[in-house]
Amino acid sequence: MAETPGTEKTLKYLLLILIPVIFFFVIRFFSVSAPGVPPESAATAQPAVTEIPIPAGRVLAGTIWSFALAAAGRDADTILIPNFRQASSSARIRETYNCKILINGGFYTTDHKPLGYFAAGPDILSSPQSNQLINGYIWRSGDIHGIGSELPEDPVDWAFQTGPILLSQESRLPLIIRNDEPSRRSVAAVDNNGQLILLSVFGSTQMYSGPLLGELPGVIYDIGIQESRRFVSAVNLDGGSASAFVSRDASLSEISIVGSFICVR
């Protein structure tokens, strides 16, 4: 049936109204749902740790490795933060505790408990264990940070068991490790000035790779020489996917949960 002139006019009028309305909703849809733009709540829920470009590698113990290093002054405020149950990210921990330097702590079990001795303030979460690999302790007692095979007699502000010990009395300790595999390594050291030195050692082309554990004493010893630092003692911390390191110059995030953190404020 042929349309009348009145019907044609009505259709044109409706189209003039509908086209701007449809256009408006299309623009609104794409501005809200554009890929790569997260909603505001998602953007603020979890602060991200930005990975830095991999530093140029250096020859350390005969192989090219990269590393990040940060020194805490003798008067620095350091705290030990348990994270076994909370499972917070390094980014969240850094923000919450206002950490200038942050590194992962020691090892933990599959049921999210510290492996070996662990004391954060007055709370002792775990007792010492006899273990050839976690044969060291790191602690803070007043203004003193220490690393050794035994806990000090003086009361400690915090302490935990980890290992193996890499350097003692400025000398490398030989390690024989079964089933050794390359992995990113976190290390704590104390120099001849009593400063706590925190390090992450990783591949020159891959941040989550790194030296064999058996190679680590030589690597840390060479870093001390190249950085003109006399490392008196050094100990291995947890590493690999559960390692994290954040400082003014470096941000290396974890893949899996970090059981605890050393925070320098």
Q: Residue 21 is which amino acid?
A: V
Helices (H), the chain: 5-33, 40-45, 90-97, 216-226
Number of neighbouring beta carbons within 10 Å of residue 158: 22
Residues 66 and 18 in one domain: no
Averaged pLDDT, 55-79: 91
CA dist., res. 49 & res. 52, Å (int)? 9
Averaged pLDDT, 1-30: 49
The answer to whether 66 touches 58, Cβ cutoff 8 Å, is yes
Residues 16 and 95 in one domain: no
Averaged pLDDT, 78-87: 97
Residue 235 included in any domain? yes
Residues 103 and 162 in one domain: yes
Residue 194 has pLDDT above 80, yes or no: yes
Q: What pTM does this model have?
A: 0.80
Residues 26 and 67 in one domain: no
Total number of domains in the chain: 2
CA dist., res. 19 & res. 155, Å (int)? 77
Residue 230 included in any domain? yes
Residues 150 and 198 in one domain: yes
Residues 114 and 33 in one domain: no
The DSSP output letter for 114 is B
Answer whether the bond into residue 53 is a cis peptide, omega within 30°.
Answer: no
Residue 215 included in any domain? yes
Among 3-12, 146-155, 195-204, 223-232, the range scoring the smallest mean pLDDT is: 3-12
Residue 180 included in any domain? yes
Q: Identify which of 192, 239, 196, 232 has the alpha carbon closest to the alpha carbon of residue 215.
A: 239
Residues 136 and 248 in one domain: yes
Residue 46 included in any domain? no
Residue 82 has pLDDT above 60, yes or no: yes
Residues 28 and 133 in one domain: no
Per-residue HEC secondary structure of 53-102 comes to CCCCCEEECCEEEEEEEEEECCCCCEEEEECCCCCCCHHHHHHHHCCCEE
Residues 10 and 76 in one domain: no
Residue 49 included in any domain? no
At 113-127, the pLDDT tens digits run: 999 999 999 999 999
CA dist., res. 63 & res. 72, Å (int)? 28
Range of the domain at 193: 58-264
Residues 234 and 143 in one domain: yes
Residues 99 and 25 in one domain: no
Residue 233 has pLDDT above 80, yes or no: yes
Q: Binning pLDDT at 50, 70 and 90, where does residue 214 land?
A: very high
Q: Given this model, what pLDDT does residue 29 score?
A: 37
Residue 42 included in any domain? no
Residues 63 and 154 in one domain: yes
Number of neighbouring beta carbons within 10 Å of residue 257: 17
Q: Binning pLDDT at 50, 70 and 90, where does residue 19 land?
A: low
